[in-house]
């Protein structure tokens, strides 16, 4: 790994956008060689780690002697890819400096920290596609199109780098992971510009991003400024900023409702100064909170209401149109026992422990009873199924949609067998039905069970039958109403009449109110 020369001068480098190339933020201190006094024909450079899309995790280095030997004369390639370095100093040494050409700002000169300029060989050179380091000064490069490049958008956060000097045949040279190689030290040259991954590059600035701190503070209360902030660099590196300091405003600003922006700095991974920002919304929370609303259905249980009730409300902030989401608990003791027995509106106040006034407005509507198993969010399972035909919820009660044949005859029957249905969310069950029409006519016993909120199974509570239900008819047509239960699933346990045959089912149904809202 190369390191910058000791005689290299340190200076701050401004970050340039991929297309605009305008200075917007300070970069870490990067060594820039004094090959000449400040080049008059070039602007301040942007500093990038140039990662290859086709060789992810590797970046272009200019002038690394460990590069792959190449033409001419089996010399190290002028540019090659190497894995991201692991230390700040080594990462800085990998950086490519992109100097904008003053006369044509859309063009840049690419160099390393030691001032080595990346140049394409002349068109009359047999190796005209290959790159070289000719010893051009930065200002000399500003007038040589072979040493100039454009950076254009390749989509998805990627860029193309094109050499300004066209080939003799008029084709545009594109910076290229030559021969599709990806190994450490693989050469980077030029080839006819295209859209292949070998010509796409991810330009990572050495300036990190730090999310703006956003908080609300009560009017008259000065905040405590954060001292732990995380910076993220473009290639994924995260670091905790050190020595975070803030330019604290006058104490009087916190006495007035509004937004206060506070700027500060921290020290980044490279020892650079990183700007940080905090935005404070100054204002007191209004009381009462805006009403929270929900919809329920006739017959909905207290448990269901509690499960679906919102857990936060919106409160206004004084002096602004901003609202803040605040946790809330509800006082369910205010709910009458018969509150959901008819259509109407129910109001529940916030619990005293919430600390502010709020109201939950529940609209109770009448919904139709539906076959839950034909809706969304249902997953089925079984003890044994013959083949792959599972059609117990297609609405057809008269065609077999399940059977449990297996080889081995009477000595190898599946008895009992179980078909289970699991719900994505708890549902109220008020009945069920099981059918075996035009099938094997061999279901002799049936038990319908529901799955509770913690995964246990219990018999469906009904006065219509005693479980297990004994089927004395050839076909099976069992329909039962039940006391309402809150369920996360339903299953049917069947036993046979005789081992001389296997069992089949045509349809399973589970009834409950359609979800409100």
Structure confidence at residue 12 (pLDDT): 32
DSSP-assigned states of every residue in 169-221: TSPPEEEEEGGG--STT-BEEEEE---SGGG-EEEEESS-B-PPEEEEE-TT-
The string of pLDDT tens digits covering residues 496-507 is 999 999 999 999
Q: Is 330 helix (H, G, I), strand (E, B) or coil?
A: strand
Number of Cβ within a 10 Å radius of residue 223:
18
What is the Cα–Cα distance from 448 to 434, expressed in whole angstroms?
9
- The hierarchical CATH code for the domain 370-513 is 2.60.120.260
**Backbone φ/ψ region at 145: left (φ over 0), alpha (ψ -120 to 50), beta:** alpha
Lookup result for tokens 């340039």: 16
Q: Is residue 100 predicted with pLDDT exceeding 60?
A: yes
Number of Cβ within a 10 Å radius of residue 500:
10
> Rounded mean pLDDT of 364-392?
96
The string of pLDDT tens digits covering residues 470-492 is 999 999 999 999 999 999 999 99
Per-domain residue ranges of the chain: 9-205, 213-282, 292-366, 370-513
Number of Cβ within a 10 Å radius of residue 374:
12
Chain mean position to CA 153? 24
What is the Cα–Cα distance from 396 to 393, expressed in whole angstroms?
8
Structure confidence at residue 107 (pLDDT): 98
Give the pLDDT band (50/70/90) at residue 28.
low
Q: Cis omega before residue 72 (within 30°)? A: yes
Q: Given 2.60.40, 3.40.50, 3.30.56, 1.10.287, which CATH number is that of 292-366?
A: 2.60.40
Q: Which two tokens stand for residue 246?
A: 């803030």
Environment class of residue 250 by beta-carbon count within 10 Å: exposed (0-12), middle (13-18) or buried (19+)? exposed
H/E segment holding residue 89: helix 88-94
Q: Which residue has the higher pLDDT, 15 or 98?
A: 98
- The hierarchical CATH code for the domain 9-205 is 2.80.10.50
The string of pLDDT tens digits covering residues 199-243 is 999 999 999 999 999 999 999 999 999 999 999 999 999 999 999
**Backbone φ/ψ region at 123: left (φ over 0), alpha (ψ -120 to 50), beta:** alpha
> Rounded mean pLDDT of 305-330?
95
Lookup result for tokens 């030559």: 178
Q: Where are the beta strands (DSSP E) in 283-330?
A: 292-297, 312-316, 323-327
Structure confidence at residue 87 (pLDDT): 98
Structure confidence at residue 393 (pLDDT): 98
Domain 213-282 identical in fold to domain 292-366 = yes
Q: Is residue 32 predicted with pLDDT exceeding 60?
A: no
Give the pLDDT band (50/70/90) at residue 493.
very high
Q: Which two tokens stand for residue 500?
A: 């001389």
| CATH C-level class of 213-282 | mainly beta
The string of pLDDT tens digits covering residues 280-295 is 999 999 889 999 999 9
Structure confidence at residue 15 (pLDDT): 33
Give the pLDDT band (50/70/90) at residue 517.
low
Q: Which two tokens stand for residue 247?
A: 């330019």
What is the Cα–Cα distance from 380 to 418, expressed in whole angstroms?
11
DSSP state of 16: -
Q: What is the mean pLDDT of the chain?
A: 93
The string of pLDDT tens digits covering residues 427-473 is 999 999 999 999 999 999 999 999 999 999 999 999 999 999 999 99
CA angle 443, 445, 447 (to 5 degrees): 120
């Amino acid at each position: 790994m190369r390191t910058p020369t000791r005689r290299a001068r340190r200076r701050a480098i401004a970050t340039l956008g991929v297309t605009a190339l305008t200075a917007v933020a300070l970069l870490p201190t990067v060594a820039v060689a004094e090959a000449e006094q400040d080049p008059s024909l070039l602007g301040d450079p942007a500093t990038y780690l140039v990662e290859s899309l086709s060789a992810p995790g590797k970046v272009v280095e200019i002038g690394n002697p460990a590069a792959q030997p190449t033409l001419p004369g089996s010399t190290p390639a002028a540019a090659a890819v190497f894995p991201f370095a692991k230390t700040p100093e080594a990462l800085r040494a990998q950086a490519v400096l992109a100097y904008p050409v003053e006369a044509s700002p859309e063009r840049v000169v690419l160099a390393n920290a030691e001032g080595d300029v990346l140049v394409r060989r002349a068109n009359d050179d047999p190796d005209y596609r290959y790159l070289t380091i000719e010893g051009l000064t930065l200002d000399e490069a500003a007038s040589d199109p072979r040493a100039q490049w454009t950076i254009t958008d390749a989509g998805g956060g990627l860029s193309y780098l094109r050499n300004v000097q066209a080939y003799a045949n008029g084709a545009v040279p594109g910076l290229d992971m030559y021969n599709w190689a990806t190994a450490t030290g693989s050469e980077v040259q030029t080839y006819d510009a295209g859209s292949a991954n070998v010509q796409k590059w991810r330009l990572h600035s050495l300036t990190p991003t730090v999310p703006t701190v956003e908080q609300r503070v009560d009017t008259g209360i000065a905040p405590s400024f954060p001292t732990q902030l995380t910076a993220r660099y473009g290639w994924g590196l995260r670091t905790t900023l050190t020595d975070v300091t803030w330019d604290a405003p006058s104490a009087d600003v916190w006495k007035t409702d509004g937004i206060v922006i506070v700027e500060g700095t921290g020290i980044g991974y490279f020892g650079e100064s990183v700007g940080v920002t905090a935005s404070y919304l100054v204002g007191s929370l209004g009381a009462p909170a805006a009403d929270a609303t929900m919809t329920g259905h006739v017959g909905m249980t207290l448990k269901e209401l509690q499960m679906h009730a919102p857990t936060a409300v919106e409160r206004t902030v004084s002096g602004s149109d901003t609202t803040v989401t605040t946790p809330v608990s509800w006082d369910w003791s205010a709910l009458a026992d018969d509150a959901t027995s008819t259509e109407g509106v129910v109001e529940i106040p916030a619990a005293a422990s919430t600390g502010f006034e709020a109201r939950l407005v529940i609209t109770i509507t009448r919904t139709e009873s539906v076959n839950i198993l034909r809706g969304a969010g249902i997953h089925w399972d079984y003890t044994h199924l013959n083949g792959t035909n599972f059609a117990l919820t297609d609405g057809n009660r008269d065609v077999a949609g399940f059977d449990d044949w297996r080889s081995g005859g009477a000595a190898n029957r599946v008895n009992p067998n179980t078909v289970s249905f699991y719900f994505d969310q708890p549902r109220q069950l008020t009945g069920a039905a099981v059918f075996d029409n035009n099938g094997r006519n061999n279901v002799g016993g049936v038990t319908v069970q529901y799955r509770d909120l913690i995964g246990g199974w219990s018999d469906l509570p009904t006065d219509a039958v005693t479980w297990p239900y004994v089927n004395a008819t050839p076909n099976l047509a069992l329909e039962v109403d039940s006391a309402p239960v809150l369920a996360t699933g339903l299953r049917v346990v069947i036993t046979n009449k005789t081992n001389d045959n296997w069992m089949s089912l045509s349809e399973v149904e589970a009834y409950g109110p359609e979800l409100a809202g």
